Amino acid sequence: MSVTIVVGGQYGSEGKGKVVALLAKESNSPWLVRCGGPNSGHTVTIDGKPVIMRQVPSCSEPDKATFCVAAGCVVDEELLLHELDLLKIPRERIIVDPRSVLVTEEDRKAEADSLVRIGSTCSGTGAALLRRMSRAKGVLLAKDSAAIKARCRVETVATLLYSRIEDGGDIIVEGTQGFALSLLHGPDYPYVTSRDTTAAGFAMEIGLSPRHIDKIVMVIRTFPIRVGGTSGPFANEFSWEHIKAISGAPDVLPEYTSVTKRLRRVARFDLDLVKLACKYNYPTSLAVMGLDRLDYANTGVTDINTLTPVAQKFLNDLEQATGVPVDFAGTGFGTFDVVQARINHMNPETHV
């Protein structure tokens, strides 16, 4: 039994959905808990095809998991029901906390000007959170939705998770966005998101005590990315053409945001930011995505011994600099393009 939180260590889009799916695959009947809202999408490979999930937790084998939407979530009713249909999740295996707040069309409209100011996805997530905090009349929660109650178990998620812990089951919490976007701790306010994005913040959102958390996996990328447009300062920003030249890839292969489809900004690796994220999240392990971006020869590699020297050096240097072991090393866009092996058996208590 274990309770694991998966958290981003940069500006989001690090590969948290991929890591959640890999962890879920190792469990016979995992309980997956989604934090955040529809303003971020996580991609997972299901039956050989990439699927973007914005409300339901990531899982490559959705027929064996129980899915939970936490009390701290913002829920887009139509999007949630669409994803349940897409994954064919039966009612008994999807639990939505009655306290999660519903996003409205007015919320989406209210965020229109923030697209220009801070690069918002305009999903209505931040506006819905503001309404809930205002405690004004007319705020709708999941318990007020007849459609959600017809398709989901609308029950207090935290209470069920406590029972699951007592029964010895596996729980995987899927955090949202990344440390540098934290409303409370991100370095570039106001260019942040509408919630705290640390592991402690996610534990709070779902209602678990920090003492229940066994593992924290922090996901980072070799070349961090963030939303395109006026999304804030970005140290060492450069172009996708530079990555093509560095990796030796035959094509540029730029990336676009899963929600807005805007071209992402990209930058060189920032070790200082990652070390700061390690201090705040105190991870037990790291997951590093984008070894194929360091060297195209790493694309699709699944054996640690066949990683190129530049990839091996990056992972070893990272472990030495942070004092945190690497458990996953991504080598491509697919969920299973990954090396699943600890690079060095270091003591996770020796964080910098």
Distance between first and last Cα of the chain: 28
Cα angle 331, 218, 9; round to 5: 95
Mean pLDDT of the chain: 91
Give the per-residue SS3 of the chain.
CCEEEEEECCCCCCCHHHHHHHHHHCCCCCEEEECCCCCCCEEEEECCEEEEECCCCCCCCHHHCEEEECCCCEECHHHHHHHHHHHCCCHHHEEECCCCEECCHHHHHHCCCHHHHHCCCCCCHHHHHHHHHHCCCCCCEHHHCHHHHHHCEECCHHHHHHHHHHCCCCEEEECCCCHHHCCCCCCCCCCCCCCCCCHHHHHHHHCCCHHHCCEEEEEEECCCEECCCCCCCCCCEECHHHHHHHHCCCCCCCCECCCCCCECEEECCCHHHHHHHHHHHCCCEEEEECHHHHCHHHCCCCCHHHCCHHHHHHHHHHHHHHCCCEEEEECCCCCCCEEECCCCCCCCCCCC
pLDDT tens digits along 298-349: 999 999 999 999 999 999 999 999 999 999 999 999 999 999 866 444 444 4
| Percent of the chain whose pLDDT exceeds 70 | 93
Q: CB neighbours of 235 closer than 8 A, spacing ≥ 6?
A: 267, 270, 273
d(C-alpha 172, C-alpha 64), whole Å: 14
Q: Which residue has the tokens 């172009």?
A: 239
Q: Which residue has the tokens 């066994």?
A: 214
Angle between helices 271-281 and 309-322 in degrees, nearest 10: 50
Q: CB neighbours of 268 closer than 8 A, spacing ≥ 6?
A: 223, 236, 238
Q: Find out whether 220 and 291 touch, Cβ atoms under 8 Å.
A: no
Angle between helices 199-206 and 157-166 in degrees, nearest 10: 100
One-letter identity of residue 211: R
What's the pLDDT at 120?
55
What's the pLDDT at 347?
44
Over 50: is that where the pLDDT of 10 sits?
yes
d(C-alpha 262, C-alpha 257), whole Å: 5
pLDDT tens digits along 157-212: 999 999 999 999 999 999 999 999 999 999 999 999 989 999 999 999 999 999 99
What's the pLDDT at 346?
41
pLDDT tens digits along 249-267: 999 999 987 767 789 999 9
Over 90: is that where the pLDDT of 148 sits?
yes
d(C-alpha 146, C-alpha 144), whole Å: 6
What's the pLDDT at 228?
86
Q: What is the mean pLDDT of residues 210-217?
A: 96
Over 60: is that where the pLDDT of 352 sits?
no
pTM: 0.92
Identify the sign of the CA torsion 280, 40, 125, 150: negative
pLDDT tens digits along 33-82: 999 888 778 888 888 888 888 999 999 999 999 999 999 999 999 999 99
